[in-house]
A and B are shown apart, each in its own frame.
Chain A
Amino acid sequence: MIETRRLVKHFGLKPVLRGVDFQVERGEFVALLGPNGAGKTTLLRILASLARPNMGTVRVAGYDLPRQAASVRSMLGVVSHLPLLYGDLSAEENLRFYGRMYGVPHLERRAGEVLELVGLRAQRRELVRAFSRGMQQRLSIGRAILHDPELMLLDEPYTGLDQDAALMLDDLLREVITRGRTVVMTSHDLSRAASLAPRIDILSRGVISASVRSAEIDPLQLPTLYHSVTHA
């Protein structure tokens, strides 16, 4: 589903990605860990066709990026640091707008289902600018799944979520796995990553420094491994 080779990205003179080789099979769930500034967000932005690499190749779902980006975008569901929502529109209006942009069929019904799923049905007519950070994040997750994407790119999706919302997202992601969708999720929460994702990759200093199977490592040893890789 995803294949990058020798991916390089720098901002000005500062290198962020220094030759990332990253493969994800269709239906796989990969947690991407790494310290701040390791390049996780940049990698996701390149995969989402929001940024161009300086060197290297990227293929998503068999399409070359950035050349065939338009074909890839309809398959992507993205949750980023920012909610990507309009403050002066209601929750329902935001979903309706994005639904139209993705050509979602039976939009009214689908928007209602998604609002129910993320626990915002009662607040559907409220303006997003009045929402708390957690409620915005819930709606942002709803926006990302609205068109039922094949590939989900989640950049620290648990940020700002309360306990209930975090459990809702846990359930949602487990269902994603069951349904055979592909997920790449960045996180700083090692235990949550280990409990959800069968594969954990660690990005450090612009390269993938380690890739482990969750089933093959004792969850208690993960912080030690993470520390040794990121401080090597």
Chain B
Amino acid sequence: MPEATPAFRPVETIQDTRGVIQRRPRPAYGRAIAAVVWKDLAAELRSRELMGAMLVFALLVILIFNFALELDVRTRQTVTSGVLWVTFAFAGTLGLNRSMAIEKDRGCLDGLLLSPVDRSALYFGKTLGNLVFMLIVEAIVLPTYSALYNVNLFRPALLVVILLGSIGYAAVGTLLASMAVQARTRDVLLPILLFPVVLPVLVAAIKASNAILQSFEPSEIWPWLNLLIVYDVVFVAVAMMVFDYVVEE
């Protein structure tokens, strides 16, 4: 037997009576999730394609609304939650589409699917990456909106609602984007699939945000917050279970 070279080292494998080769140790679940998130952030740091598109779109939307809606201070409070969530939702769709298109372009999705990790780890990695992108865009949109509309958006309860809404949106969006990416018409398909499914999140987030901005009683806010939490838990669980089937050919 010649000396082992860097390309191939002797690997100890054991074959049992059924011909089953001893399984190699698989990478830890958490490490696989972290690797996918790291990969998405590192690639985005270089290209800035995804964040650039999301940010420009989001800032343009709130600027257009600022000119389109010439409102008094009181009315502004009432439309703020709607304008904010429309902005987040559409900017989020752009990001989701781009995030999965990157995986499809050079066959990278196959590369991910070939990895010996539970496929739900891939789902969580992609969802966390998309959530981070959404939160960064929201962190830039909020002060800009506050300055343009003269509305204070930095209220802890509102930030909690934005976080919960974004989690639900990213959880469902990542699952549906991974389904839509297989189609030729993925850019058109994603919003058509996504918005009907994510409607409960948007309605709950808008209602809760509006109630917080107008200083309603907590009893009027809690039902919407509860709906957001339940939706997030249910859809993360469902997505985790079906992701394997959704991404397979």
Question: Which residues on A are within 8 Å of B, measured CB to CB?
Answer: 26, 45, 48-52, 61-63, 66, 70-71, 73-76, 78, 80-89, 93, 97-98, 100-103, 113-114, 116-117, 127, 143, 145, 148, 150, 172, 175-176, 178-179, 181
Question: B67-126: which have CB < 8 Å to A?
Answer: 102, 105-108, 110-118
Are B19 and A50 in contact (CB-based, < 8 A)? no
Report Cα–Cα, A81/B38, bound state, in Å.
Answer: 26
Are A101 and B21 in contact (CB-based, < 8 A)? no
Query: Which residues from B are CB-within-8-Å of A52?
Result: 248-249
- Number of chain B interface residues as a range: 35 or more
Stretch at the interface among B1-9, B201-209, B225-233: B1-9
Report Cα–Cα, A150/B15, bound state, in Å.
Answer: 12
Number of A-B contacts (CB under 8 A): 136
Report Cα–Cα, A200/B117, bound state, in Å.
Answer: 33
Question: Which residues on B are within 8 Å of A, measured CB to CB?
Answer: 1-2, 4-11, 13, 15-16, 18-21, 23-28, 31-32, 34-36, 38-39, 42-44, 46-47, 102, 105-108, 110-118, 248-249
5 contacts between A and B (CB under 8 A): A26-B15, A74-B24, A89-B46, A101-B27, A179-B4
Extra contacts besides A45-B249, A89-B42, A127-B46 (5): CB < 8 Å: A52-B249, A84-B114, A101-B32, A116-B6, A179-B8
Query: Which residues from B are CB-within-8-Å of A50?
Result: 110, 113-114, 248-249
Are B249 and A51 in contact (CB-based, < 8 A)? yes
Report Cα–Cα, A87/B39, bound state, in Å.
Answer: 11
Which residue from B8, B10, B20 sits with its C-beta under 8 Å from A61? B20
Query: Which residues from B are CB-within-8-Å of A93?
Result: 42
8 pairs of A and B residues whose beta carbons are closest in the complex? A82-B107, A62-B20, A103-B27, A74-B116, A84-B111, A113-B6, A88-B43, A100-B35
Which residue from A86, A100, A150 sits with its C-beta under 8 Å from B106? A86
Query: Which residues from A are CB-within-8-Å of B102?
Result: 86, 88
Are B46 and A88 in contact (CB-based, < 8 A)? yes
Query: Which residues from B are CB-within-8-Å of A81?
Result: 107
Query: Which residues from B are CB-within-8-Å of A148?
Result: 7-9, 11
Give the dominant DSSP class at B's interface: loop
How far does the Cβ of A165 sit from chain B's closest Cβ, in whole Å? 14
Report Cα–Cα, A172/B7, bound state, in Å.
Answer: 8
Are A143 and B111 in contact (CB-based, < 8 A)? yes
Report Cα–Cα, A229/B4, bound state, in Å.
Answer: 40
Query: Which residues from A are CB-within-8-Å of B23?
Result: 71, 74
Are A85 and B106 in contact (CB-based, < 8 A)? yes
Query: Which residues from A are CB-within-8-Å of B110?
Result: 50, 78, 80, 82, 84
Are A175 and B5 in contact (CB-based, < 8 A)? yes
Query: Which residues from A are CB-within-8-Å of B249?
Result: 45, 50-52
How far does the Cβ of B84 sit from chain A's closest Cβ, in whole Å? 30
Query: Which residues from A are CB-within-8-Å of B44?
Result: 88
Query: Which residues from A are CB-within-8-Å of B11?
Result: 148, 150
B5, B9, B25, B114: residue with the most chain A Cβ atoms closer than 10 Å: B114
Report Cα–Cα, A113/B248, bound state, in Å.
Answer: 33
